[in-house]
Structure 1
Amino acid sequence: MKTGFKHHMEDALEYLTIPSFDETGLVAHCFTTRKGGVSEGECKNLNLGYNRNDRKENVTENFRIIMNQLNINYNDLVFSNQVHKDEIANITATDKGKGMIKESDILEVDGLITNQKGVPLVTFYADCVPLFFLDPVKCVIALSHSGWRGTAKMIGAKTIMKMVKEYGCNTDNILTAIGPSIGKCHFEVDAPVIEQFHQNYGQDANKFVIKKDGNKYHIDLWQANIIQFNQAGIKDEHITLANECTFCDEELYFSHRRDKGKTGSLCAIMQLV
């Protein structure tokens, strides 16, 4: 397994890319930070969530800033409404702009896949786990939003299986990455949550569930997703872990749990070029 995303600094803007994805030359992509935008207050600076306590004009300008850096047309961005489930949608050029400049009918969906160039996929975060997928042979990309519910439901493995079944991908070729998100250091839950992981992971849950005092536990969502990837057939050398906790780094990342919901949204963005 590889560790670490690459940080890029352009004036006030800071964003991350995945080295193994960069090396293919096939995608424009990033994971955003909170640095480099125009938002104020609890959403300062680069908030990308229209559903946050922010002016629409600020969010649109923030998108323009980061997409200009990636050379992506921000009017083409494709969003879903993300409901912490395990549904994954196939996206085509006909979906361009859904959620951005026109109403989206991509509902109840937390994962997006496409094999078409020039179709930028976007998923949103403020502690949940961003999952990136790239098959450089079949030229297929995917993004999946994996909070604890999505991780328990194994949306990462299901994304890989959908790439294989519907796009003809071979798991030997798929590159994956796990972006900045809440780490085991701060992700505390109670027994009912743990039970859902044990139901779906069996004994493997013991590898990422840490018992604390009382009826509390910490979960290592990164390790849970790595287990999924391995079980789905992804090679260790094709997994990159950002190894950055959004809760810990207040200067760089929004965090729903740390900020008690009064925060902005980060994005995972990817497009075949």
Structure 2
Amino acid sequence: MEFGTGFKLQERQGVWYCVIPGFERTGLVKHGFSTRKGGVSGGRYSTLNLGFKKGDSHQAVMENFLRFCRAVGIGPHNTVFSDQVHGDNVVVVGAKDRGKGAFKESDIRQVDGLITGESQVALVTFYADCVPIFLLDHVRKVIALSHAGWKGTLACIGKKTLEAMHREFGTRPQDCLVGIGPSIGPCCFEVDLPVAQQFVQAFDKYRDIIIKPGFEPGKYYIDLWMANALQLKEAGIPAQNITVSGMCTSCHQDLFFSHRRDKGDTGRMAAILMLEG
């Protein structure tokens, strides 16, 4: 693989989460991708469930969220949530939006990508198999998070987020670092023919890399990691600036919630990213 591989798993204050080494080296951001380890939820939500809308106790989820923020070193009231619908809408947020989602009513609707150029504004998106895309323009000091399920991947939300960063802040692709976070891997993301055909149409040039035949007739395995990484490389981000976690949420039941593995009855992880300063 031409892309960098490997997020780093670490523990702080009893909370386990993943970080991107290249992002850490810049000294510009605080960030992380949560696991399911280090919280107070029980049963199928055990233990660090961050899904506020999944039927878990609100008190437990809030405690989990506070623990995650403390571990990463981000003030909880600085956070801004997206309202994910598996689409391709991206918005710019700022200090005026802090607290939306967790602590006050949010007017951010039908949005799967968040961008900011302001410090102390923590972007938050939620996952249970979909692909988290972290973007950092280390020259202009702009950050973004995008939630890329298979529909968002086909809709090119990663590329559209990068284009919005350029449009709003002058971001150049060559100045960006990218992290493709833990999500369902090519080992487990099996689809039927109609979905596979959509990927063939969208990624014809890379079909042999992204799409593999399944073990049953009419079934195929899709590599969402490569699909998103290749989109961003085609948009101008150097391959060496793109890090793929290589961690499958479906395979690692001890570390991650998985919508597909758990048949929808499960918790959520979160990605968080904030400019320091």
**What TM-score results when the alignment is normalised by the length of structure 2?**
0.96
User: For residue 8 of structure 2, what is the amino acid of its counterpart?
Assistant: K
Alignment partner of 2:221: what SS? Answer: strand
The equivalent position to 1:191 in structure 2, one of 176, 190, 193, is 193
Which residue number corresponds to residue 34 of structure 1? Answer: 36
Which residue number corresponds to residue 241 of structure 1? Answer: 244
In 2, the alpha carbon distance for the partners of 1:139 and 1:81 equals: 24
Which residue number corresponds to residue 233 of structure 2? Answer: 230
Which residue number corresponds to residue 250 of structure 1? Answer: 253
Shift of 1:11: 5.0
Shift of 1:180: 0.5
In 2, the alpha carbon distance for the partners of 1:11 and 1:97 equals: 23
Which residue number corresponds to residue 98 of structure 2? Answer: 96
**Aligned-residue CA RMSD in angstroms?**
1.1
In 1, the alpha carbon distance for the partners of 2:26 and 2:55 equals: 38
The equivalent position to 1:170 in structure 2, one of 169, 172, 179, is 172
In 1, the alpha carbon distance for the partners of 2:46 and 2:32 equals: 19
Shift of 1:71: 2.1
Residues 29-38 or 197-206, more deviating? 197-206
Equivalence map 1:31-110=2 (5 Å) = 31-110=33-112
User: For residue 113 of structure 1, what is the amino acid of its counterpart?
Assistant: I
Give 4+ residue runs of structure 1 displaced > 4 Å after superposition.
Answer: none
After superposition, the C-alpha distances for 1:225-270 in whole angstroms (9 at most, x for unaligned) are 1110111001011001110000000000000000111110000000
Residues 69-78 or 175-184, more deviating? 69-78
Residues 212-221 or 114-123, more deviating? 212-221
After superposition, the C-alpha distances for 1:37-79 in whole angstroms (9 at most, x for unaligned) are 0011111100011011210001110111111122211122111
Residues 194-203 or 3-12, more deviating? 194-203
Which residue number corresponds to residue 217 of structure 1? Answer: 220
Shift of 1:10: 2.5
User: For residue 27 of structure 1, what is the amino acid of its counterpart?
Assistant: V
Contact 2:41 2:49 in 1 (8 A): yes
Which residue number corresponds to residue 150 of structure 2? Answer: 148
Which residue number corresponds to residue 271 of structure 1? Answer: 274
User: For residue 65 of structure 1, what is the amino acid of its counterpart?
Assistant: R
Alignment partner of 2:9: what SS? Answer: strand
Which residue number corresponds to residue 113 of structure 1? Answer: 115
Contact 1:187 1:218 in 2 (8 A): yes
Gaps of 5+ in 1: none
User: For residue 174 of structure 2, what is the amino acid of its counterpart?
Assistant: D
In 1, the alpha carbon distance for the partners of 2:97 and 2:75 equals: 14
Shift of 1:170: 1.1
Contact 1:115 1:141 in 2 (8 A): yes
User: For residue 35 of structure 2, what is the amino acid of its counterpart?
Assistant: T
In 1, the alpha carbon distance for the partners of 2:165 and 2:82 equals: 18
1:124 aligns with 2:121: no
User: For residue 18 of structure 1, what is the amino acid of its counterpart?
Assistant: I
Shift of 1:195: 2.3
Residues 54-63 or 207-216, more deviating? 207-216
Shift of 1:211: 1.6
User: For residue 248 of structure 2, what is the amino acid of its counterpart?
Assistant: C
User: For residue 13 of structure 1, what is the amino acid of its counterpart?
Assistant: V
Contact 1:15 1:30 in 2 (8 A): yes
The equivalent position to 1:17 in structure 2, one of 16, 19, 35, is 19
Which residue number corresponds to residue 261 of structure 1? Answer: 264
Contact 1:208 1:220 in 2 (8 A): yes
